[in-house]
Amino acid sequence: MFNVQVTVQDVSTMIRNEQKSVIFLINNGGYTIEVEIHDGPYNVIKNWNYVGVVEAFHNDEGKLWTAKVKCEEELIEAIATATGEKEDHLCFIEVIVHKDDTSKELLEWGSRVCSANSRPPNPQ
């Protein structure tokens, strides 16, 4: 996992070099991992239009295909397109998930890290 706000600019290099990869960006609208460790207003971030950012880097030069999906059916269709008719493009698929969509293990880990930091969680 990486902070896309720091590294998304490399997509322009990928377009310039005509990479034919499929990139999945899982967008949960925030820093869920940080919220599980210690919640606070600093974890509320402005959500970006990631597809729009990538399209801005594209600027109609090279081969790029993007999709924003919100359900399993749309994801299946996007994957089929990316691996089918758009296989000669750099494909960027933004997958929208709920901000609290996380595993039991992440919740447990966040609780342990919070305890180790001696900072009680902020109950909501």
Quote the CA–CA distance of 120 and 124 in Å, as a whole number: 12
39 has a pLDDT exceeding 90? no
Residue 5: pLDDT band (50, 70, 90) is: low
If one compares 4 and 97, the residue with the highest pLDDT of the two is: 97
Nearest to 87 by CA among 77, 79, 97: 79
| Domains in the chain: boundaries | 4-116
**If you average pLDDT over residues 104-114, what whole number do you get?**
83
- Contact (Cβ atoms closer than 8 angstroms) between residue 89 and residue 63: yes
pLDDT tens-place string over residues 53-98: 899 988 888 899 999 999 999 999 999 999 999 999 999 999 999 8
Could you tell me the two tokens for 109?
């880990």
Provide the CATH number for the domain formed by 4-116 in this structure. Answer: 3.40.50.970
1 has a pLDDT exceeding 80? no
Residue 31: the pLDDT is 73
